[in-house]
Amino acid sequence: MVYQRPKGTADILPGDTEKWQYVEQTARQVFSHYQFKEIRTPIFESFDVFSRSVGDTSDIVTKEMYDFYDKGKRHIVLRPEGTAGIVRAYVENKLFGPEHPKPVKVYYMGPMFRYERPQSGRMREFHQIGVEALGSPSPTVDVETIAMALGLFKKIGIGGLKLVINTLGDLASRQAYRQALIDFLEPHFAELSQDSQVRLHKNPLRVLDSKDKKDQAIVADAPSILDFLDEESTAHFTTVKALLDNLGIAYEVDATMVRGLDYYNHTIFEIMSNSKAFGGQYMTVCAGGRYNGLVEEIGGPATPGFGFGLGLERMLLVMAADGIEVPNTADLAAYVVGIGEETQAAVVQVTQAIRNAGFTAEHDYLARKPKAQFKMANRLNAEVVVTIGESELAAKTAHLKNMATGNEITVPLAEIEQDFATVIAQIRGEKRG
RNA sequence: GCGGUAUUGGCGAAGUGGUUAACGCACCGGAUUGUGGCUCCGGCACGCGUGGGUUCGAUUCCCACAUACCGCCCCA
C-alpha cells in the first residue's frame, strides 16, 4: 500500500456516515429545543489559547497537544477540545455585549485532536459534540444542561447510563482543599505510585483519580472536597442536587471525581455507560461542568460558564454494541432498466424526470444485461423497476414492475415524465388489487 | 512516551523454506435471444504490510520501519 491515512485517523465511509448524521441531526434537534445555536470556530488555534485555558500542568498541554509551527513561525495547535476556542470566540466577538441575550447558548460538533497512542475508540483525530452556556451562574443552567445531555442519549436510545456529579467548589474552596489533600498525602508519599508522587504537588486532585490499587486504598481515607466548600459553593451544589431531584433525574455523587482540565469549578458531571462496548465496565461517554473563571482567563469580562462534550466515536461504539438501528432515509423509488444502447437517452431522461419529481431514482451505468440490471434493482431495494426496451421506445411507453408484488403495467413515457407521483401511486395501488 | 500481540485476495480465513498460495463470503459472467430468489458452471492474490538481510531459494527465518489492537499513562 503506497499511501495510508495518518496514524490515529479514520476514513468514515458511506454506510457509517448515515450513523454519524443521525447522531448529529438528533443532537441539533435536541439542542435547538433548549435554544442552543450552532457556533463554528477554527479547527486550529494559537497554542496560547489552550495552554492558558486548559492549564499548563494538564496532560493535554504537557504531552497531548497536536501542535506545530506554521510558515509564519506561529505556534499552532489542532484543537484538543472545544471549550477554549469557543470562549476565545466569545471574547473576540464580544458576545458578552448587551445586545446578546444571556446566557449565550451555543453548540458545536467537529473534529478534535490529541497526540497520543491510538486505541479502540481513542483516536488522534476524534469527534466531539459539545455545548457551552456563557453568562449565568445559576444552578438552573447546570441542571438543564445536564438534562439536555441526558435527553440526547435518551433520544438516541442509549440505555444503561448513570449520571455522576461532584463539585470542585470555587477557587478558595478548591485551594483550601488542595492544601488539606497535600497535608494528608505527604506522610504517605513513599507509599504512593510513581505517577501519584509526581501528581502530588503538581495537581494533587488527580491522585484521587489514580487507577493504582494502593493509591486508591490511601485515598479512601482522604478528606473530602465536600467538607471544604464555603457557604456559597455548598449552596450552589445543594441547589443543583435539589433541582435534579425535582426533575426526577437520578444521580450519584462521587466526591473523588476530578477533571483533567484546570478550568473547571463548582459542578462537574459525567454520564457513564456500562455498555457491552466497554465490556460492562462503566466508561464516560459525556463529561462537563462549570468554568466560572475561564472567560476572564482568556481576556474577557468575568463571565460564568457551563458546558459539556461528548465523544462521537464512543457514542457510535455504544450504539453498535446496543444494536441501535439508524432510521433508513434514502429508499430507492425507481430503478430504470434500459435494454439496448439506443435506449440510453430515454433512460437518462426518465431517470432525471423521476428525480425531478422528488423521488430517488437510479439506473445502470455499465451497459449490463437486463438480468443483471434487475439483480441490481433488487439489491438496491428498488420499489419499482421502469423498463425501456426497443418496443417501448417505439411505442413511446415504459414498462413498470412493482418489485414487491411482481405486478406490471405499461405507461406512456410522457406520463412518467410529467407526473411520476401519479404513476407510482398507480402501481402501488396494484398491490392491493 | 513505555510494554505486548498482530499484519495473506474486496471481506473472513487455511498454509509451507522450494513445483500451479486451500476454502468460504462477496463480486462479475454464463446456464434457449429482454426481468429479481435458489441451484449449477466459470472467473477473480501486481503474489502473502513496507524496506533490508540470511539462504542455491522465503509469503514462511532474522532486523528495521509502518499500521492496527490490548495494557500503562491519560481521556471523549
Residue A381 beta carbon within 7 A of nucleic strand B: no
pLDDT of residue A225: 87
Residue A290 beta carbon within 7 A of nucleic strand B: no
Identify the residue whose Cα has the smallest distance to the C1' of B67.
A7
Place of cell 500500500: A1
pLDDT > 90? residue A65 = no
- The most confident of A9-18, A171-180, A313-322, A355-364, by mean pLDDT: A355-364
The model's confidence at residue A2, banded by pLDDT at 50, 70 and 90, is: low
pLDDT > 50? residue A433 = no
Pair A108, A129: CB distance under 8 Å: yes
pLDDT > 90? residue A239 = yes
Place of cell 435518551: A154
| DSSP 8-class letter at A300 | S
Average pLDDT of the residues in A106-116: 94
Average pLDDT of the residues in A61-83: 88
Identify the residue whose Cα has the smallest distance to the C1' of B68.
A119
pLDDT tens, A275-329?
Answer: 877 777 788 889 999 999 899 989 999 999 999 999 999 899 888 888 888 887 7
- For residue A132, give the H/E element and its range: strand A125-134
pLDDT > 60? residue A431 = no
CA A135/CA A144 separation, integer angstroms: 15
Q: What is the CA A73 to chain-centroid distance, rounded?
A: 33
The model's confidence at residue A62, banded by pLDDT at 50, 70 and 90, is: low
- For residue A187, give the H/E element and its range: none
pLDDT > 70? residue A20 = yes
pLDDT tens, A143-180?
Answer: 999 999 999 999 999 888 999 999 999 888 888 888 88
pLDDT > 60? residue A432 = no
Q: Please, which positions of strand B sit below 7 A from a protein CB?
A: 1-3, 27-30, 34-37, 49-50, 66-76
pLDDT of residue A58: 63
Identify the residue whose Cα has the smallest distance to the C1' of B72.
A211
Taking alpha carbons only, the member of A170, A288, A301, A150 closest to residue A234 is A170
pLDDT > 80? residue A48 = yes
Average pLDDT of the residues in A404-425: 93
Residue A54 beta carbon within 7 A of nucleic strand B: no
Q: Separation of CA A320 and C1' B14 in angstroms?
A: 30
Residue A33 beta carbon within 7 A of nucleic strand B: no
Q: pLDDT > 70: what percent of chain A?
A: 96
Residue bearing the bigger pLDDT, A43 or A116: A43
Beta strands at A161-167 and A252-253: parallel, antiparallel or unpaired: parallel
CA A433/CA A431 separation, integer angstroms: 6
Three cell numbers written together for A128: 466531539
Q: At what angle do helices A47-54 and A83-92 cross, to 10 degrees?
A: 110
Closest C1' nucleotide to A389's CA? B34
pLDDT of residue A24: 96
ipTM of the prediction? 0.84
Average pLDDT of the residues in A361-385: 92
- Contacting residues for A364 by C-beta, under 8 A, at least 6 apart: A337, A338, A372, A373, A376
* Domains and their CATH numbers in chain A: 17-170+230-321 (3.30.930.10), 334-432 (3.40.50.800)
pLDDT of residue A173: 87
pLDDT of residue A280: 72
Residue bearing the bigger pLDDT, A53 or A347: A347
pLDDT > 80? residue A210 = no
Residue A379 beta carbon within 7 A of nucleic strand B: yes
Closest C1' nucleotide to A405's CA? B36
Taking alpha carbons only, the member of A388, A432, A377, A381 closest to residue A411 is A388
Closest C1' nucleotide to A379's CA? B36
Taking alpha carbons only, the member of A418, A90, A53 closest to residue A262 is A53
Q: Separation of CA A125 and C1' B52 in angstroms?
A: 32
Averaged pLDDT of chain A: 89
The model's confidence at residue A430, banded by pLDDT at 50, 70 and 90, is: low
Cis peptide before A6 (omega within 30 of 0): no
pLDDT > 80? residue A421 = yes
Residue A310 beta carbon within 7 A of nucleic strand B: yes
Query: Could you give phi then psi for residue A157, rounded to 5 degrees?
Result: 105, 20
